[in-house]
Amino acid sequence: MTDHLQLINNCLKGKAAAQKQLYEEFAPSMLGVCYRYTKSLQDAEDVLQEGFVKVFRFLHQYNKEGELGAWIRRIMVNTALNYLKKSQKYQYDLLFDQAELHVITRDDPEVLLNAKELAELIRQLPTGYQTIFNLVAVEGFSHVEVGQMLGISENTSRSQYMRARHLLISWITNTSGNKNKVYASK
């Protein structure tokens, strides 16, 4: 934390070396975040770039008490959501329907996939499902918060999440039995 404070102070002074150090420390994990919200690595890098510009622009607003990584991650998530809303190719997929909640299986599989495999599966979800699943399951937001962030009702968020979860579980179950088949096309 002390190192981060020093790093932040140097970044605020406009030192390019410190800025690069901060970027290099957080860019890989943040690109992982961006990757989960988008459908291509190019889009993820665009989000990462835009997010880091915001990080440096608003670094003076960081209160230095919370975790710096969490603060940057929150910026990345918000940037990714804005990117999805602005981008034409994601807009149609982000339309959330008000369908009734489906009954899903309670038998949750054990996730044997590695991180990259799991991320790839999440990215294969429809964008609406993908976004809500990321926000709820990975980021830990409540459905109320997700509803506020996406401009949808809490129930819509909940139902979309359950669908996404059900779909993902079915994929994990299939993929776990035959991993090579899933990744053969990648």
Partner 1 sequence: MQANDFEKSIRRKMEEFELVPKEEVWKQVSANIRKEDNNRRIFFWFLSGFLMLAGLAGSWFLNRDKSVSITKGAPRENKAPLKTGIRKTPEVAENSDRNQQTAKSSPSITNGSDGKIPANHDRPATKKTAIKIKVQPVKKESSLPAISNKLQGSSVSSASNLNDMPPGKVLKEKSENLPPHKFLKTGSDQFVKNDSGKNGLINKDTKKDSSASIMEKKAAVKKVAKNWKIGFTAYAGISNNSSGLPLVFSPSSADYLSSSSPNQSSGAAGNTFLPYRLNYKTGLSFGLGIFTGKQFSKRFGLTAGADYHFYSARSTAGNKIDTAATFRDSALQSTAFVSNFYLGGQSGSFLNSWHLIELPVNLHLRLNKNKDNPVSFTAGVSPGFLIGSNALYVNSRERVIYEEKKQFHRFQLSAQAGLLFPLKTFKTFHINAGPVFKYGFTNLTKHAAATRQHLVFAGIKANINLK
Residues that bind partner 1 (CB under 8 A): 14, 16, 19-20, 23-24, 27-29, 31-32, 35-36, 41, 44-45, 48-49, 52-53, 56-57, 106, 108-111, 113-116, 118-119, 122, 136-138, 140, 165, 169
Query: How near is the Cβ of 107 to partner 1 at its closest, in Å?
Result: 8
Dihedral of CA 62/63/69/71: which sign? negative
Write the DSSP assignment of 19-87 as a string of letters: HHHHHHHHHHHHHHHHHHHSSSHHHHHHHHHHHHHHHHHSGGG--SSS-HHHHHHHHHHHHHHHHHHH-
The residue among 38 and 95 lying less far from partner 1, judged by its C-beta, is: 38
Query: How near is the Cβ of 67 to partner 1 at its closest, in Å?
Result: 12
Query: How near is the Cβ of 177 to partner 1 at its closest, in Å?
Result: 17
Query: How near is the Cβ of 152 to partner 1 at its closest, in Å?
Result: 20
The residue among 57 and 91 lying less far from partner 1, judged by its C-beta, is: 57
Integer CA distances (angstroms), 95 to 28, 83, 86, 115, 148, in order: 30, 15, 13, 28, 15
Query: How near is the Cβ of 92 to partner 1 at its closest, in Å?
Result: 26
Residue 13 is given by DSSP the state T
The residue among 44 and 84 lying less far from partner 1, judged by its C-beta, is: 44
The residue among 17 and 91 lying less far from partner 1, judged by its C-beta, is: 17
Rounded Cα distance, 168 and 76, in Å: 23
The residue among 138 and 149 lying less far from partner 1, judged by its C-beta, is: 138
Query: How near is the Cβ of 78 to partner 1 at its closest, in Å?
Result: 17
Integer CA distances (angstroms), 39 to 46, 117, 182, in order: 12, 14, 16
The residue among 8 and 119 lying less far from partner 1, judged by its C-beta, is: 119
